[in-house]
Amino acid sequence: MSIYDTLNPPQQEAVFHTEGPLLILAGAGSGKTRVLTHRIAHLIADKGVNPFNILAITFTNKAAQEMRERVDKLTGADGMSVWVATFHSTCVRILRRYIDRLGYDNRFTIYDSDDQKTLMKEICRKLNIDTKKYKERSLLAQISHAKDEMITPDEMEMNAGGDFNQKKVAQVYREYQAALKSNNALDFDDLLVKTVELFQNCGDVLESYQEKFRYIMVDEYQDTNTVQFKFVSLLAARYGNLCVVGDDDQSIYKFRGANIGNILGFERVFPDAKVIRLEQNYRSTKNILNAANEVIANNAARKEKRLWTENPEGEKLHFRQFMNGFEEAEYVIGDIAKKKREHLADYRECAILYRTNAQSRLFEEKCLKANIPYKIVGGINFYARKEIKDLLCYLKTIDNSADDLAVRRILNVPKRGIGATTVGRVQDYADYMNVSFYDALRVAEEVPSIGRSLNKIEGFVTFIQSLKSKAQAYSVTEILEEVIDLTGYVDELKAEDTEESRARIENIDELISKTVSYEEAMKAEGREATLSGFLEEIALIADIDTVDPDQDYVLLMTLHSAKGLEFPYVYLAGMEDGMFPSSMCIFSDDPTDMEEERRLCYVGITRAMKELTLTSARQRLVRGETQYNKVSRFVREIPRELVELGTTIQEHKPSMQETPSPKNSYMQMRQTFRAKPFEAQNFKVTKAASLDYGVGDTVRHIKFGVGIVRDIVEGGRDYEVTVDFDKVGVKKMFAGFAKLKKI
């Protein structure tokens, strides 16, 4: 009896095929992690491969950690030497060693999106760019996309041709890169781009890593982007032992540059690639899996496949529609409380999934009220909080004084009486002398018209210098406590004594415990705990990584965060057209946007093992406005016979005066299901007897602006209107959705 006997034939084939390129098309819940871990075990135990020569790239740190543990269980302690990490942490480790070859300092800092925005704001000011016209966020998004595709500022400028806007973006991009470099900082995208650049420029470095990583595995391959693909193919170019695992139906990160072509075209790039499909699902009941299959079948662009399972049929899916989001949350939390009360489930077995982070609030409030432990994944990052950022910027300044952003942030925190005027004068001097902001502070007496501020600046510099020298001997925790102590940060908050200040102190305590646990972890691994090591780790940690399976809490998260996870009981909330699918993609002129949204729905459904509950609200408060939404089209794509509408049980007490009679809501739900998918009952309603505009009329569209109607074609469900817009050109759209207004 070997450890491989428990695997099914295609799984075994994937494990034993170790040489050459391999594409594993692994459907949801088909045991791909088992395959990967057994494959690593097989390489080590049977093929005699040194664990040191294996690289496995996962999507999150949490997945990496789990994989390592499972390999350990199979092979003994050898798992520790396998390099299992995310793309970003892999790149950081390489860059810490070699980035000086690209003219950076090896102690670079990593900028998060807040830092990026601050930097961008400054650049726009410097270049006299009107941030009303070019939004920082939008500029950064364009730059990020360029980096995903490995386009340099020069290339962007060349590609721009006569396009003034593009040229402007290229100019900002160039300036932004220069600023990063002079701050000795890298953004997230740079981690990948600079590593690839390093490989391309330094053959010896690439070669050493090619020799090291003789066997490479990449998980969640459908969500890799172009630069990640380049990184992997460079590494695998020598030995060609590249194994990628993915599922094109679960590709949900196009907005972040993910290139679905990487998986769809794998066989084209590697003609000798072996392809193995894993289609048996071990996770979900038949009902859940069938629902998922039916929904995803509505997508046109996909590799045809159908998952099957030997699991029991299980319960039908539940669907409930409520008057508003308030009642929806009350029902979901009530249902979870009931499961716990009746010992049917632990909290940790339940997950509430939604489309946007903003939806978490209602559920959080109900959890608090019902005294149910919960954890929200994502949303406002712990490290984005003011008090945490302040303290981290002290640590960053101590670690890398070239980081102007960090230095400027703490210069007057706590208040030292150094204001904007002084900062501007020092900055001008620094720019003029071409030195860092901190170096300018150190020679503040040279700065013109610095006046009374000189004393205060000298005090600050002395303070930082003393911390810097202490950092040589102190542990990370000690230096953090020293900062808190000497700045009086916590003392000040204590004096404030408000609910808010107490929460801030709690956060600071949590930060201290994070440095402590970092030091413990490093000690356990026999690595040195350093300040830059700590800063790097927290820069790369994702919220999902902090989920503790030993704690009994309900998990609240977005569908995106739920990727790769599974739960016995799943609640998909906010199943409304306009929420999910989001209105953005309903109105999009790119039909693949809707397909990606549907894949997201597929991911959501396939997270559930035993029971899946879908909920929606008739009216919902979005950004302070009431929206009236129809039940999501995705719900309508699920065959009626797989769904139970819950008319017999009325568990939740009607809480609001305007609760509809059960009969009414039942009728509404029946109506939703009466039509088969895509006969789309609700669309017919929107088809007006006639339109109030005709060919040749000028109309206004909510997104595209003003245009002239060119053509109107009467279709089965709706009128198809062709409009020539002033700004975006000719678009075809359905009258029911487009909400065109005659002007």
Partner DNA sequence: GGAATTATGGCTCGG
Partner DNA sequence: CCATAATTCC
Q: Which residues are annotated as a binding site for ATP?
A: 26-33
Choosing from 148, 157, 220, 595, the catalytic residue is 220
Binding of DNA by 535 (CB under 7 A): no
Q: Binding residue for DNA (CB under 7 A) from 47, 126, 135, 494?
A: 135
**Contact region for DNA (CB under 7 A) — 154-162, 198-206, 417-425, 514-522?**
417-425
Active site residue 250: yes
The interface mask with DNA, positions 144-183, x = CB under 7 A, is: x---------------------------------------
Region binding DNA by CB under 7 A among candidate stretches 23-31, 205-213, 497-505, 536-544: 536-544
How far are the Cα atoms of 24, 578, 648, 673, 675 from residue 669, in angstroms, in the given order? 40, 18, 14, 7, 11
Active site residue 593: no
Token pair of 720 as six digits: 């198809």
Contacts of 491 (CB under 8 A, 6+ apart): none
Binding to DNA (CB under 7 A) within 477-496 occurs at none
> Any contact of residue 324 with DNA (CB under 7 A)?
no
Identify the residue whose tokens are 């003003």.
Answer: 706
Determine, following the binding rule CB under 7 A, whether residue 420 of this chain makes contact with DNA.
Answer: yes
Contact 147, 190 (CB under 8 A): yes
Length of the chain: 743
Task: Identify any residues that bridge with 215 across adjacent strands, giving them in sequence order.
Answer: 54
Reference 173, options 119, 241, 112; nearest CA is 119
User: Which residue stretch of 26-34, 67-75, 320-328, 416-424 sits at the interface with DNA (rule: CB under 7 A)?
Assistant: 416-424
- Using CB under 7 A as the criterion, what x/- string covers residues 602-621 for binding DNA? -------------------x
Structure tokens at 157: 């400028």
Write down the catalytic residue from 32, 283, 339, 618. Answer: 32
The window from 323-331, 440-448, 513-521, 540-548 that contacts DNA (CB under 7 A) reads 540-548
Which span sits near DNA by CB under 7 A: 28-36, 476-484, 556-564, 631-639?
Answer: 556-564
Within 8 A by CB and 6+ apart from 280, the residues are 8, 30, 31, 307, 308, 309, 310
Distance CA 234, CA 273 (A): 17
Catalytic-residue membership of 34 = no
Nearest to 519 by CA among 487, 550, 478, 481: 478
Q: To the nearest whole angstrom, how small is the minimum distance from the Cβ of residue 417 to DNA? A: 4
Q: Which of 1, 2, 128, 132 is close enough to bind DNA by CB under 7 A? A: 132
Contacts of 65 by beta carbon, 8 Å cutoff, 6+ apart: 84, 545
Cα Rg of the chain (Å, integer)? 28
Q: Does 577 bind DNA (CB under 7 A)?
A: no
List the interface residues with DNA, window 177-196 (CB under 7 A).
Answer: 188-189
Bridge partners (DSSP) listed for residue 733 = 721
The verdict on 582 binding DNA (CB under 7 A) reads yes
Number of residues that bind DNA (CB under 7 A): 46
| 228 included as an active-site residue | no
Residue ranges in 325-384 that form contacts with DNA under rule CB under 7 A: 355-358, 361, 378
Looking at 219, 249, 596, 597, which residue is catalytic?
A: 219
- Least Å distance between CB 177 and DNA? 15
Contact code string over 241-280 relative to DNA, x by CB under 7 A: --------------xx------------------------
> In whole angstroms, how far apart are CA 376 and each of 75, 481, 511, 556, 741?
35, 28, 18, 5, 41
**For DNA, the closer CB: 78 or 543:** 543
Task: Supply the minimum distance, in Å, between the C-beta of residue 44 and DNA.
Answer: 26
Name the residue among 32, 14, 547, 83 with its Cα closest to residue 250: 32
Q: What is the rounded CA–CA span in Å between residue 562 and residue 530?
A: 32
CB of 721 within 8 A of CB of 709? yes
Residues 6+ apart with CB under 8 A from 173: 142, 143, 146, 153, 156
- Give the residue with the Cβ less far from DNA, 228 or 532: 228
C-alpha to C-alpha distance for 171 and 184, rounded to whole angstroms: 20
222 binds DNA (CB under 7 A): no
Q: Which distant-in-sequence residues (6+ apart) come within 8 Å of 534 by Cβ?
A: 395, 476, 515, 518
Which of 373, 417, 654, 715 is in the footprint of DNA by CB under 7 A? 417
Exactly one of 598, 607, 620, 630 is catalytic; name it: 607
Residue 374 CA to residue 347 CA, distance in Å, equals 8
Catalytic residue among 12, 18, 33, 619: 33
* Residues pairing with 722 in the sheet: 711, 732
Judged by CB under 7 A, the residue of 123, 418, 476, 555 near DNA is 418
Provide the 10 A C-beta neighbour count for residue 242. Answer: 24
Contact residues: DNA, CB under 7 A: 59-60, 86-88, 113, 132, 135, 137, 144, 188-189, 255-256, 355-358, 361, 378, 412, 415-422, 453, 540, 542-544, 557-558, 560-561, 582, 584-585, 593, 621-624
Residues identified as active-site = 32-33, 219-220, 250, 607
